[in-house]
Amino acid sequence: MKLKFKPNKRLLTIAGVVALVVVALMVGNSDREAKPGPLDGAAIRSCDDFAAGYPSASTKPARLALADKVMTSGRTGNELIAQRQAEMGRSAADGNPRWKASADALLSACRDAGWTA
């Protein structure tokens, strides 16, 4: 016994709309990734402050103090540096592996934007 499946127009329309919504969501999420931006004054101060304080930030209190200083350097228009600042701030209280990874990511974002020590 063979079953024949013949979709009606309403079912095809709903399937098409669902497919479009899924594609739109996937494209929209890819645009939300932080992108490098201009190296403005706040970004330069932040990168300078972090680079100067990073070598001596080996204890939790020192890391937290450095994170506070970097975060108060000003609000940068560079989305990637701002995102990396926030990640570094959140990891300041954590152990060394996470702290080092976020510190490296912040320094990389600074360099990618054109900052030099």
Residue 28 lies inside a defined structural domain of this protein: no
Answer whether 17's CB lies under 8 Å from 92's CB. no
pLDDT reported for residue 2: 73
Residue 79 lies inside a defined structural domain of this protein: yes
Tens digit of pLDDT at every position of the chain (117 positions):
677 777 787 766 775 555 555 555 665 554 445 556 778 999 999 999 999 999 998 899 999 999 999 988 878 889 999 999 999 999 998 878 898 999 999 999 999 999 988
Residue 92 lies inside a defined structural domain of this protein: yes
pLDDT reported for residue 3: 72
Q: How many domains does the chain have?
A: 1
The three-state secondary structure class of 42 is helix
Residue 16 lies inside a defined structural domain of this protein: no
Please tell me the distance from the alpha carbon of residue 62 to that of residue 51, in angstroms, as a whole number.
14
Please tell me the distance from the alpha carbon of residue 112 to that of residue 90, in angstroms, as a whole number.
22
* Count helices and strands in the chain by DSSP H and E runs: 5, 0
Residues in the chain: 117
Tell me the pTM: 0.68
DSSP code for 4: P
